[in-house]
Amino acid sequence: MHILQKIKNKTVVVGIVGMGYVGLPLGMAFANKKITVIGFDLDEKKIRLLNKGKGYLKHISDEKIKKVVESGYLKTTNDFSRFPEVDAILICVPTPLTEHREPDMSFVESTSKTIAKHLQKGQLVVLESTTYPGTTEELLLPLFNRNNGKQNFIVGKDYYLAYSPEREDPNNPNFTTAEIPKVVGGVTPQCSKVAKALYDLVIVNTVPVSSPGTAEATKLLENIYRSINIALVNELKMVFDRMNIDIWEVISAASTKPFGYTAFYPGPGLGGHCIPIDPFYLTWKAREFELNTKFIELAGEINTYQPYYVVEKSAEALNKFKKALNGSKVLILGAAYKKNIDDMRESPSLKLIEIYKEKGAKVDYHDPLVPILPKTRKYKFDMKSIKLTKEKLKRYDLVVLSTDHSIFDYKFISFNAKLIIDTRNAFEVRGIKSNKIFKA
């Protein structure tokens, strides 16, 4: 039976490679529509938990996972030889940067090579991982056409290949995976047709574009737009601070204009897997065409500087109380990269910890959503979240709010802390003002 017929009959079986922040919600979206999903992952702990109906991401409840697992529509395995059992393979693996800010395609490449070994006629393969324009056709297409040397496959006839960028925003209360429009670009018109039909089963609106390269560029534009505008307000924050003007008040006033303005907010640095990383995929690819992406690189410089700016403001604030940063006890509030989630990817809090320690400060952190700091590609801190008590708060020379979780008791913190650096304007938003609270 042709895959389009299986999609129409809802008998299509979907394989998802990488059951993380992108793959798991996507798999659940299909499973909730009674589409059989096989999740593939190398992490045995994830597999064990999922198959027991339990989760590992704070923003996805065990109840929701248990529902789809017990229904039989979601199963997870580390046996990649089961690829022939599925009709569609959606690749949701990480695409980080190397130390030299170049794309690390190792996860995509190794996954694609494994798929090529098992690729069956009639299967659809879609790359969802964020990457540079050209990846789908330059990296995946040659592998699948050769089919690991067994036979020559013709794309659009023997199998189907497309790119559809993920648009996940963990814990966004307004948009679930199924409610976010999906851009789809196939290598051939038939590839686009098949990919669109599959996503139409679960996504509110699919947006077909002319090619995988266009779809790849779409995701980069979305995140470059955000990166540059965040860099702008971060730069204005520093300029206005010198002028004794509050950037948050300026943004609030500018937001009253009903057209021609979109509010972006400053912070202690960029976090998450997308904005700190994705723009540099285009920077890297542009060199192939002898072009420099000046806006992207300048925005990166400004945003990368923000943790250092926070530490500089910390030293200034401590100095007003005749205290040096060297030897001070510093408590960082919030370890996740944004509020109300446990996602640590590229969190600016990690960079803050590193810089404060380099300056001679003794650093602790508090984040109930991140009880232990996980090892990352850059950092290996052996730290646990401290319990926040009145006595402990009073011991710290400086409290730095890095992530504005809703669960924090801001009045309690402001009452008991000696000195506060607020990088998110979280205290003032809650009506808390004090001469010991400084913004950065």
pLDDT tens, 78-134? 999 999 999 999 999 999 888 777 899 999 999 999 999 999 999 999 999 999 999
Residue 40 parent element (H or E):
strand 36-40
Right CATH for 3-210 from 3.80.10.10, 3.30.429.10, 3.30.420.40, 3.40.50.720: 3.40.50.720
**Range of 53-57, 69-73, 210-214, 377-381 with top mean pLDDT:** 210-214
pLDDT attached to residue 60: 86
Distance, CA of 185 to CA of 193 (rounded, Å)? 9
What value does the mean pLDDT take over residues 426-432? 96
List, by residue number, the catalytic residues.
274
Residues 310, 421: contact at Cβ < 8 Å? Answer: yes
Distance CA 170, CA 177 (A): 9
The superfamily in CATH containing domain 236-439 is: NAD(P)-binding Rossmann-like Domain (3.40.50.720)
The answer to whether the 3-210 and 236-439 domains have the same CATH topology is yes
How big is the chain, counted in residues?
Answer: 440
What is the DSSP code string of 140-193? Answer: IHHHHHHGGGT----BTTTBEEEE------TT-SS--GGGS-EEEEESSHHHHH
Is residue 149 very low, low, confident or very high in pLDDT (cuts 50, 70, 90)? low
Phi, psi (degrees; rounded to nearest 5) at 48: -60, -50
pLDDT exceeds 60 at position 395: yes
Per-residue confidence (pLDDT) for residue 391, from 0 to 100:
95
Q: For residue 158, what pLDDT is reported?
A: 94
The confidence score (pLDDT) of residue 172 equals 81
Q: How confident is the model at residue 151 (pLDDT cuts 50, 70, 90)?
A: low
Q: Domain extents for the chain? A: 3-210, 236-439
Q: Assess whether pLDDT exceeds 80 at residue 46.
A: yes
pLDDT-derived band at 375, boundaries 50, 70, 90 = confident
pLDDT band at 147 (very low <50, low <70, confident <90, very high): low
Q: Report the mean per-residue pLDDT for the chain.
A: 93
